[in-house]
Structure 1
Amino acid sequence: MSSVSPLVLALVLGSALLHATWNAMLRSGADRLWSISVMCAISAAAAAPFVLILPAPAAASWPYVGLSTALQIGYCLFLVRAYRDGLLSQVYPIARGAAPLLVAAGAAAFAGERLSGHAILGLTLVSCGIMTLGLGRDRPDIRSTAAAVLSGAFIAGYMVTDGVGVRLSGHPTSYVVWMSLVQGAPMPFVYLIARRRFPNVQLDRELAKSVAGGVISLVAYGIVVWAMSTTDMAKVSGLRETSILFATIIGALFLKEPMTLTRGVCAVVISTGAILLAG
């Protein structure tokens, strides 16, 4: 596929900001499993009306919708576990840092994608910079780190799955809508299995954050899936992981997490890698 167009670049960077925002909302929640269950349900509800007006994705893409659903539910569970004890600026870099290299490997294996030399360098810089941010002296405990790494593996899995599925769908928007609906609808039942009750919904600040987070996450990942229908998966993944820059800033400004020199240097490394990757 061709290099990243200015439109795709702008949209994916916007998606990165949105993704960091809903993760900050999740991290600040009192009950993160409840928050992510409500977010997913809201995403499904927001997508549902479009099912009635858009053509169905091609039959060949449906197995990918199903596999993506399973992988994203796994991602949600491990992300919640990682945020139980880890900070946004600790967990997010590890979870997101593992993904671009794994996406590149998966895209090469399953979609026949090949990256240029400078794109490989950019991908390496993005991944190394993000991983370094999460491995300093204030890194999370071993269990949070393990959960974050597993979250990154699930991220890579569902991005490659959706990258292939959306190309087979014949209609990227329909694929996004159905994927969001099928993935989001089961999450209240996942909560039921884990807590032996359905999420208790009250009109309060936590609900407002979760509703906003659900809409934001739908838009953010919808942009990414659409971008993967026109651009190499690894490039989209690398650009999306610049969300760590936004997460670091949001963590410092709104969650009162420390901004260190190491994190600032890594931000420059990530930005440089993203520029190379998008070329």
Structure 2
Amino acid sequence: MTPLVATAVLVAALTHASWNAIAHGIKDQLLAFTLVGGGGALCAAALAPFAALPRAAAWPYLIASVLVHLAYQYLLMRSFQLGDFGQVYPIARGIAPLAVTVLAAVFVHERPGGWQTAGVLVASAGLGGVALWGMRGRTPNWPALAAAAGTGLTIAGYTVVDGVGVRDSGTSLGYICWLLLMQGLVVPVVALTARRGELFAQLRPVAVRGLFGGALSITAYGLVLWAQTRADLAPVAALRETSIIAGAAIGALFFKEHFGRPRMVAAALVVAGIGLMLHAG
């Protein structure tokens, strides 16, 4: 992994944590994901004419990814409805790197070297520390934890599917555009069916925030897909999940959640893991 690729993924991590915080801050999660999905689809529609059409080999992966992303969005909405941002977000994101490492080894035959493995493990230990700290002193909210864990597994699933698909597509931009065009309109259609004439009045007070979140979402995942064409899936996934640290900081700044010394130690472990992954590159 080169410094340029690592920088792109770190920017994606910060951007991803930001749009998740925006979505969490909109209390009606159906409205939040309607706007994020719709905003992403609008950005994709604007960019698609300037991107090449993905190759035929990539379309089965695009369709599979849309299905997994829809499951991910449903579970993420449920976890935000049931739990606190500082608890469910780290768990959802922290499960993904190790799961991606296993899936990539089994299905893509990417077996990380010694430095990469060490980097993924060290970074995952830091990410797990943030997740455990978010649960400290609380009675476990099992439905929220189950939704967050399911979210993490769907993240791992679409990461591997898209990692293969974008490499076969021949165009990172075209792949992300068509992915968001196909999946981004599903939740808005569901919301329009469920809320009918009330939807637009409900959207108006939060429209700017939500659409901005959609723009952030396409930026974040577009950077990740580009990185997956230039590095192995496991270290990209581990580096991407530094969004947990950004999410913890956002939780402290905007949701008044305590950051604390354990999260500082966890952040140091993540930085050490990044160093090991860069050493491998």
TM-score tier by shorter-chain length is over 0.9
1:25 to 22, 27, 49: 22
Does 2:99 correspond to 1:70?
no
CA contact (8 A) 2:3 2:278 kept: no
Q: Kindly indicate whether the alpha-carbon contact (under 8 Å) linking 1:188 and 1:199 is maintained by their aligned counterparts in 2.
A: no
* CA shift in 2, pair 1:199/1:126, >3 Å: farther
Distance 1:66 1:198 in 2: 31
SS of residue in 2 equivalent to 1:80? helix
Report whether the alignment pairs 1:148 with 2:148. yes
Question: Structure 1's 198 and 216: CA in aligned 2 closer, same or farther, altered over 3 A?
Answer: farther
Aligned to 1:118: 115
Query: How many Å separate the matches in 1 of 2:3 and 2:31?
Result: 37
Deviation at 1:189, TM superposition (A): 2.5
Quote the offset at 1:269 in angstroms.
1.4
Structure 1 residue 252: Cα displacement: 0.3
Provide the residue aligned with 1:222 in structure 2: 222
**Would you say the 8 A contact 2:45–2:177 is kept in 1?**
yes
Q: Which residues of 2 match residues 243-258 of structure 1 at below 5 A?
A: 243-258=243-258
CA contact (8 A) 2:9 2:223 kept: yes
Shift, 1:69, TM fit:
0.6
- Paired with 1:201 and 1:263, the residues of 2 have a C-alpha distance of 40
Task: Describe the SS at the equivalent of 1:55.
Answer: coil
Q: Deviations over 1:13-68 (max 9, x none)?
A: 01111001011111111201210121111101111133233221000100111111
**Amino acid in the other structure paired with 2:66:** T
Partners of 1:7 and 1:137 lie apart in 2 by 36
Moved more, 19-28 or 122-131: 122-131
TM-score for both structures, normalised by structure 2 = 0.92
Is 1:97 the counterpart of 2:94 in the alignment? Answer: yes
1:159 aligned onto 2:159: yes
| Distance in 2 (alpha carbons) for counterparts of 1:198 and 1:39 | 20
Q: Distance in 2 between matches of 1:266 and 1:201?
A: 42
Q: Which residue of 2 aligns with 1:201?
A: 200
Match of 2:7 in 1: 10
The residue aligned with 1:176 is 176
User: Match of 1:234, as an amino acid?
Assistant: A
Conserved? CA contact 1:96–1:152, under 8 Å: yes
From the superposition, tell whether residues 180 and 138 of structure 1 become closer, same or farther in structure 2 (CA, over 3 Å).
Answer: farther
Q: Is the 8 A contact 2:191 2:199 kept in 1?
A: no
Q: Give the secondary structure class of the aligned counterpart of 1:200.
A: helix
Paired residues, number: 275
Gaps of 5+ in 1: none
After TM superposition, the structure 1 = structure 2 runs for residues 50-89 of structure 1, keeping only pairs within 5 Å, are 50-89=47-86
Which runs of no fewer than 5 residues in structure 2 stay unpaired? Answer: none
Partner of 2:211: 211
What letter is aligned with 1:58? R
| Contact 2:130/2:244, CA 8 A, preserved across alignment | no
**Secondary structure in structure 1 of the residue aligned to 2:50:** coil
- Deviation, 1:196, is 5.5
Percent pairwise identity: 40
Counterpart in the other structure of 2:190: 190
State the Cα distance separating 1:260 from its structure 2 match. 2.4
TM-superposition CA deviations, 1:78-103 (whole Å, max 9, x none): 11111113222111110001101111
* Structure 1 residue matching 2:27: 3-state secondary structure: coil
What is the CA-CA distance between 1:272 and the residue it aligns to?
1.3
What is the aligned partner in structure 2 of residue 106 from structure 1?
Answer: 103
Conserved 8 A contact 1:191-1:199: no
- Residue equivalent to 2:41: 44
Which residue does the alignment assign to 1:137? 136
Once the two structures are superposed, residues 112-171 of structure 1 have per-residue CA deviations (whole angstroms, 9 ceiling, x without a partner) of: 212111211221122222223222424551111110000000000001000000010112
The superposition leaves residues 215-262 of structure 1 with CA deviations (integer Å, 9 ceiling, x where unpaired) of 000000010011101111111111111111111111101111112222
Larger proportion of helix: 2
